[in-house]
Structure 1
C-alpha cells in the first residue's frame, strides 16, 4: 500500500523540493537579490549581512536545484544570476516584495 501511495505522489517530488529550498530566509534573500541583476558573491554577502561560508552553502543548494548559476562557471569570483525565474512568481504569491 505504501509503495502505491509513493508512486502516486512521485510527480510532486520536484515541486515539494522547491518549497523545501524556499523555506530558508537566506536562500530567499539570495533569490531576491539576484532578481534585480547578476551580482558577485561579495555583493550578495554584503547586502544580506551573512558570512561567506554560509552564503556559499546556501548558494550551492540553489545552484544544485537549477535556480541560480554562475555567469562564467569557470571563474570562482564570477557573478551569479537567477536561472529559473519561476521562483520569483512563487515568492510574489507568498507576499515577498521583488524589486
Structure 2
C-alpha cells in the first residue's frame, strides 16, 4: 500500500511446487555448504497422510531427501520426485542444479 505498483506485472512461476493441497512448501533456500544446491522445506499441514509430486521450474538433477541439517539420509525413496508424508511431517529435499554438458563443477 505504501509503494504503488510500477508498470505491468507478469505471473511468476514458482521455483518449486507440489501438487497436493495438504503439503505446503515453507522455504526454498541455498544450501549452507555453498554448493549452489537448493534446499526445500515442506510439511503436511492437514493432519493426514499425503502423497505429493515435487516439480522444479529450473533444470535440476534428481532430488535427495535430507535431515534438517542438510545431511543426506541413508535411505532414499525409489521415486525421489514423489513424497509420502505422515501427518504434520516436515520434509527437507536437496535439489542439485543440472550442469550443462562439458561444464565443470567449481571446487568447493
What is the TM-score when the length of structure 1 is the normalising length?
0.26
**Where is the strand percentage greater, Structure 1 or Structure 2?**
2
What is the TM-score when the length of structure 2 is the normalising length?
0.25
Larger CA Rg, structure 1 vs 2: 2
